[in-house]
Amino acid sequence: MDLSEVRFVGLDLAKRVFAVQLQSADGHDLGARTLARDELEPFFASLPPSVIAMEACAGAGYWCDVFSAQGHTPLPLHARAVARLRMGPKNDKKDAALILLAAHLPGARAVLVKSRDQIAALSLHRMRELVLRQETACANQLLAFFLEMGSIRWKTALSIRQASDDEVNAEVVDMPAEMQFTIRSSLTRLRAVHAENVAIKKALLRWHISHARSITLASIPGIGFGAATALTASIPDPPPWASGRAFSAYLGLVPIQHSSGDRPRLGHIGRGGDHYLRRALFLASRSAAMLCYRKAEGPSSLVSLLNRKPFNVAVSAHAARLARTSCQMLIDGTKFEETAAWRPVPFNGKGDTAARRRGEAPHDS
């Protein structure tokens, strides 16, 4: 096999054993190989500059950096682009061939490759998401234990977490010994998880103040340092999108089309792309909407949406605006400027048209 003719490679990533499919520039099959992990890097170093297609799975970012340093062009593909081609039984050699086939299909697009610094920041977000779930679960279980024993002294996670040991001991003194042990252990776990959550938040804040792009995004009304760090760690520099609208569509914050002929039909939002980033923007938008009710004012575009649309529809539309504004600022390299759409205007609090039709007060649902 003449390796000097190789121009395209399909690589099935793994932990220890990797399947490789080779192809020439004219599409001629040059055979397949199975390589151990310590053989992979020297093998690709011996190849001429090639396009290396792979699935965007765990470890793909590391291998993209390795292959780029060797002069190759990595092409990480979404797993769905390969899965739709699979027919019959699955094995590593077949997957490598299908990855190579998916790379040649029209419209094949590479998944965004993040830097090591961005991956590290996103790991803090993933860890914080896990710790928040654990903290909520611990607090709910602890409050349920007290309720089982007829105690309703504490009603929220904050109140039970801040309770002193003397207060807890006075409350559980008449309970069975097993329940006393359970409650004290659960309270210790709740406080430890909360302390871990605070530590992660401080680490995210340190990362935020050390990156100018994140500070720039945090200047947008409604986007805190949490959403700003998530955006900065998820969007390459420079962004690969032509406009902020393209980024909003990438996140799935635009309506799905069910159009036919000359009759356009728009459905709910697409919910594609990065679900964590989409949720972060949606929560930032919802916080901004709730602030409109509390302060009786808000950005003119959001106030207009709240006056005309149901609450969640308005929040989704404003989240799309946050996404467009954020990405466009990074594309242009500009700072936030208060336009007419962002100018604060009074809000009478009569949004949520569905609730008003039912005769209810507007609510956050």
Q: What's the average pLDDT block by block, 10 residues per block, for the chain (365 residues)?
A: 86 93 90 93 93 90 92 90 85 91 85 89 94 94 93 90 91 92 94 95 95 94 92 90 89 82 79 84 93 91 91 92 93 90 86 48 48
Task: Locate the DSSP E strands across the chain.
Answer: 6-12, 17-24, 29-36, 51-55, 73-77, 255-257, 266-269, 297-299, 344-346
pLDDT at 238: 87
Pick the closest to residue 95 from 108, 106, 85 (CA basis): 85
pLDDT at 58: 85
From the CB of residue 218, how many other CB atoms can be counted at a distance below 10 Å? 19
Pick the closest to residue 29 from 20, 41, 21 (CA basis): 21
Pick the closest to residue 76 from 236, 299, 187 (CA basis): 236
Tokens of 74: 């990595």
From the CB of residue 342, how many other CB atoms can be counted at a distance below 10 Å? 18
The structure's pTM equals 0.83
- Which residues 6+ apart lie within 8 Å of 206 measured at CB? none
Answer whether 272's CB lies under 8 Å from 251's CB.
yes
State the Cα–Cα distance between residues 294 and 362, nearest whole angstrom: 12
pLDDT at 49: 94
pLDDT at 365: 39
State the Cα–Cα distance between residues 296 and 301, nearest whole angstrom: 14
pLDDT at 57: 86
pLDDT at 191: 94
Domain boundaries, the chain: 3-104, 117-209, 212-357
State the Cα–Cα distance between residues 83 and 105, nearest whole angstrom: 13
- Which residues 6+ apart lie within 8 Å of 288 measured at CB? 221, 222, 298, 299, 302, 318
The dihedrals phi and psi of 246, each to the nearest 5 degrees, come to: -65, -35
SS (H, E, C) 333-361: CCCCCCCHHHCEEECCCCCCHHHHHCCCC
What CATH number should be reported for the domain whose range is 3-104?
Answer: 3.30.420.140
